[in-house]
Structure formats: C-alpha cells, structure tokens
Amino acid sequence: MSASKSEILDAAAHCFMTMGADSASIDDIAASLGSTKGRIYHHFPSKGALLAAVQLRAARFTYQAVSAVADDALPPQLCLERMARAHVMEVLRSLPYHKVILQTYTGARAKTSNAFELGMQAQVRAEHRQYAELFRDQIARGIEADIFPERNLTVTVAGLMLMLNSPVFWYQPDRGAGQEFRNTIADDLAEMALASLRA
C-alpha cells in the first residue's frame, strides 16, 4: 500500500471515529489531511468505499498480528493466550480503526448504493469470519483435549471477542496511558479470556 493511501485511511479512521461514520464527509477527511478531495477520490471512488476500506484494514491488522502467533504445535490454552494478547495489543495500537468497526455493529454506516461498495462490505464480512476461525479452531482443540468444557463454538467465540475488544469502549490513549499500562490491559484481558473458557 502506498504511503498516500495509508495516510488517507488513517485520517478517515480518525474522522469516522470522532465525528461518526454517518456525519464525517470526504470534505472533513480532506481538511484533516490539509489536502483536496481529489487526492482521496484518486484512491477511493466514494465515502462508502473509503469506510469499507477502513473496516477491511482493521480486520487485516488483527489478522496479521494474531496469525503470526497462532501455532498448533502449542497447547491450545497457551496458543489462545498468545493470540488473545496479540489481539488486544493490536486493538490498542490501531484503536481508531476498531472504533469504526464498533460503529458499524451499532448501526452507523455509510449508505451503500452500488455493487462496488456492496462487494467491499462482503469482503469485510468474509475476513471477519476468517479471523474468527483462528480462535474457533483453538477453542475446539481445547474442548477436544478436555481442557475447556463443551460449549457452542459460535457463542463462545462471540463472547470471547467481545471481551478482547472491550478497550474500544473505554480505553483513552490521550489520557497519558503508557506502554506499561497497555501491557497490563493485554495481559489481564488475555488471562480473563482464558479463565472464561475454563469456567
């Protein structure tokens, strides 16, 4: 990805986060970049396409971070702990993107009116499912090994992701939280997530 496109996505994520995906406009994003709308439209044909690209990048950020530490050679509980910690650390690192994802779950999204945008939204959903499978596979391994009790995997993964994504609701990086606190958040949430699977 070009530096220009990456910069646009960062600016869009911040604008969508602070102003809301429904309210933020291409003009707002261009203004935050000190640029013109033409620069944005060179890479993204519409606001809906830009919103979908932000969502897709959020999904890819976490997938790359977590797939790098997922290892079937490890005991499933250890693998899940590493995956959970990697997920939380990435959410904290790229927080504006994940706050935009939260908006889409609570109903805020750009109006989609063409096949290109619909196709991008379908790609976002597909990559979310692919990502959830990483956790689903390790939980299933743990159930098979009698480490975790038998549970509905769909419900379990959804509950686990809600816990691991919880910093999106309350974490405020502008309040001076440093790396030590971010490490504590990731360690504690990973530990809590594993404890919930064993309960």
pLDDT value of position 115: 83
pLDDT 10s digits, 30-43: 999 999 999 999 99
Percent of the chain with pLDDT over 70: 94
Please report, to the nearest 10 degrees, the dihedral formed by the alpha carbons of residues 36, 42, 48, 53 taken in order: -110
Q: List alpha helices for the chain, DSSP H.
A: 3-19, 26-33, 37-43, 47-67, 76-93, 95-105, 115-144, 153-164, 167-170, 179-198
- Quote the mean pLDDT of the chain: 91
Its pTM surpasses 0.75: yes
The torsion angles phi and psi of 142, rounded to 5 degrees, stand at -65, -35
Residue 87 has pLDDT above 90, yes or no: yes
Q: Write b or e for each residue in 79-92: b if 16 or more Cβ atoms lie within 10 A of its Cβ, otherwise e.
A: bbbbbbbbbbbbbb
